[in-house]
Amino acid sequence: MNELKYRVIRSGRKSLSLQIKDGELLVRVPYRTRDGEITAFIERHRDWIDKHYGAAVKRQARAVKLTVEELKELADRALAVIPERVAHFARLLNLSYGRITIRNQRTRWGSCSGKGNLNFNCLLMLAPAEVLDSVVVHELCHLKEMNHSSRFYALVEGIYPDYHRCHAWLKENGQALLARLP
């Protein structure tokens, strides 16, 4: 069997998980996990790793990096489009919000601060419109529920029933978009 390179990240989490990020296999484990447990976990998930790692590497290799000018154009377009989508869904949810900021982040599509400020990744402009809307709804719903509880997802799905399909699209295609950052 081929020697598999991976990086272990220990934290206060309760379970083991695998993630492929920027062409690297990350194994997230609780602090006290023994090396033997980690090795056994990786071997049990070898089929998943082989399938997804290969696909991620291929996607990353195909990703054409955006130029600084293209990134600025995306940010400008996002500044024109995203506030309109936020206003639309905020009216439907009967919510008010703070400032909207457009960023080019490597790990997040959006975020919501405790002060009600919303941040969105300009790369959302490369995703289908319904995916953008799903992220907007997700962040707006955090203004009512600052967590990812079942109540939160019920609120999201109540306003955007197609949310899970769009979320799946981002999981499938998001890394390829993020790989385009210079």
The domain locations on the chain are 7-62, 68-178
pLDDT of the chain, 182 residues: tens digit per residue: 345 688 999 999 999 999 987 668 899 999 999 999 999 999 999 888 878 876 766 666 566 889 999 999 999 999 999 999 999 999 999 999 999 999 998 889 999 999 999 999 999 999 999 999 999 999 999 999 999 999 999 999 999 999 999 999 999 889 888 988 88
Q: What is the pLDDT of residue 74?
A: 96
The whole-angstrom separation of Cα 11 and Cα 82 is 35
Compute the C-alpha angle 64/80/82, nearest 5°: 80
8 Å CB contact between 69 and 87 = no
For 97, the 3-state DSSP assignment is coil
The reported pLDDT for the residue numbered 1 is 39
Model's pTM, two decimal places?
0.69
- The whole-angstrom distance between residue 46's C-alpha and the CA centroid of its chain comes to 24
* Residues 68-178, CATH architecture: 2-Layer Sandwich (3.30)
